[in-house]
Amino acid sequence: MYIFAGRFKGRRLFFPPMPVIAGKIRRKSSEKLRPTTGLVRRALFDILAPIISDSSFLDLYAGTGAVGLEAVSRGAGKVLLVESNPKTALYLKQNLELIKAAAKKEGNEIAEENLMFYPYLTEKAISILAGKKEGFDIIFADPPYDFSAQKIAELIAQISEGGILRPGGKIILQHISGLEKNLLFQESVSALTLAVETRRYGYTSLSLFFPPSAPAE
């Protein structure tokens, strides 16, 4: 696990050892950790390339922080990582310190408020951010694949209705391919004032939610 591009290209990240079955991580729901694959992470940042510079980036279900720290490396101005699992968060915090130390060594430190970690459940983190009226240009969410279609739809609704997505911003949901065809999910999403576009990468898909007037890129 390492940073693909940008300021910290090639930096290896801390990551817990775990079994891999057919290319996919398998754990019990209570301790699930499924990293975004290299293919999907590259595809994600190809999509975000036109808007990542100086953006405000929220990484929900951040795991060990690979996606959020890739955003830092590629020029995001502010990144907040949310991860509630304390065991996983140990690796995330190590990776934060790794990147901060690398920046300090370069003589260009990252301000504390521009790279932060919330050890909360995602729902609580969104509520806190909504209460503080904080906004983000890019909100990336990678919930466990065993979440129901209803629970994922509720997550997108909470983000949209919480007012934490800035005008012209994008919500990007990583999910198991086929979720976008689920009728309950389709009905829930259609009730939101957001357009949606899904891009498939084998077993995994990225669904982009954005204001109808804003292109998906």
Residue 205 lies in a domain: yes
Give me the pLDDT at residue 75, please: 97
Give me the pLDDT at residue 197, please: 94
Give me the pLDDT at residue 23, please: 45
- CATH number of the domain within which 124 lies: 3.40.50.150
Give me the pLDDT at residue 212, please: 78
Number of domains in the chain: 1
Residue 47 lies in a domain: yes
Encoded tokens for 139: 């909100």
Regions of the chain where pLDDT drops below 50: 20-31
CB atoms < 10 A from the CB of 38, how many? 12
The domain of 110 spans 26-210
Give me the pLDDT at residue 36, please: 76
Helices (H), the chain: 38-48, 66-73, 86-106, 122-131, 149-161, 183-190
Q: How many residues does the chain have?
A: 217
Residue 164 lies in a domain: yes
Residue 2 lies in a domain: no
Residue 3 lies in a domain: no
Q: Taking the model in full, what pTM does it have?
A: 0.90
Residue 110 lies in a domain: yes
- Cα separation values, 57 from 44, 51, 150, Å: 13, 11, 25
pLDDT tens per residue, range 19-60: 544 444 444 433 455 677 889 999 999 999 999 999 999 999
Taking the C-alpha atoms of residue 119 and residue 215, their distance in angstroms, rounded to an integer, is 33
- Using an 8 Å Cβ cutoff, are 159 and 136 in contact? no
Give me the pLDDT at residue 34, please: 62
Token pair 């990484």: residue: 59
